[in-house]
Structure 1
Amino acid sequence: MDKVSRLTSENGVVIFSKTTCCLSYAVNILFHELRVEPVVHELDQDPEGREIEKALLRMGCNSPAVPAVFINGKLVGSTNEVMSLHLTGSLTPMLKPYQNMS
């Protein structure tokens, strides 16, 4: 979907989320602790949210499609993939260009 492509290409770190999803919240908190301010797009507050969710599933997101994390325009995955990358030390180097150092 054009909206997904546009958001992920124009912003370094994007999380597609839902306001009621505790896993989305956990991923968002992790990124803030790593000093990254992601663009968080809440699907349940977007009139096109269902279409975006279907597009994310077609792109390879697991069901449920949120959270869907994109870094540098590339789909990283959902909570399991993000946490695995974090635990192995691979997430921080991916986020380095987007970290707020202040």
Structure 2
Amino acid sequence: MDRVAKLASQKAVVIFSKSSCCMCHATNGLFYEQGMSPAIYELDEDPKGKEMEWALMRLGCNPSVPAVFIGGKFVITPSLPFT
């Protein structure tokens, strides 16, 4: 949990993501389209990614990604739309 909090506070906008997640890709793209440069941490490419994923879930992220932090504060985990 400490690692997530530390990373989340290092930049104005931080997104915890997975490279294989289409919702993550869309969320990341939305920030780039607005001219922002968020820090993006791909949990499936990080050696401690599983630990960070569990920490995000303990924060209430369900699903765990994408998890967006602004100013070090957890803001949103977009949910999948109902079809």
Match of 1:32 in 2: 32
**SS of aligned partner of 1:6:** helix
Give unpaired runs (5+ residues) of structure 2: none
**SS of aligned partner of 2:51:** helix
Q: RMSD over aligned Cα, in angstroms?
A: 0.9
Match of 1:54 in 2: 54
Structure 1 residue 65, shift from structure 2 partner: 0.3
Higher-helix-fraction structure: 1
Match of 1:75 in 2: 74
Determine the C-alpha separation between the residues in 2 that align with 1:29 and 1:74.
Answer: 20
Structure 1 residue 3, shift from structure 2 partner: 1.2
Match of 1:87 in 2: none
Determine the C-alpha separation between the residues in 2 that align with 1:41 and 1:57.
Answer: 16
User: Are residues 1:22 and 2:26 paired?
Assistant: no
Instruction: Calculate the TM-score normalised by the size of structure 2.
Output: 0.90
Q: Deviations over 1:10-51 (max 9, x none)?
A: 111000000000000000110001111000000000111111
Give unpaired runs (5+ residues) of structure 1: 81-102
**SS of aligned partner of 1:10:** coil
Q: Deviations over 1:28-82 (max 9, x none)?
A: 11000111100000000011111100000101111x20000000111111124xx
Percent identity between the aligned chains? 54
Match of 1:42 in 2: 42
**Structure with larger Rg:** 1
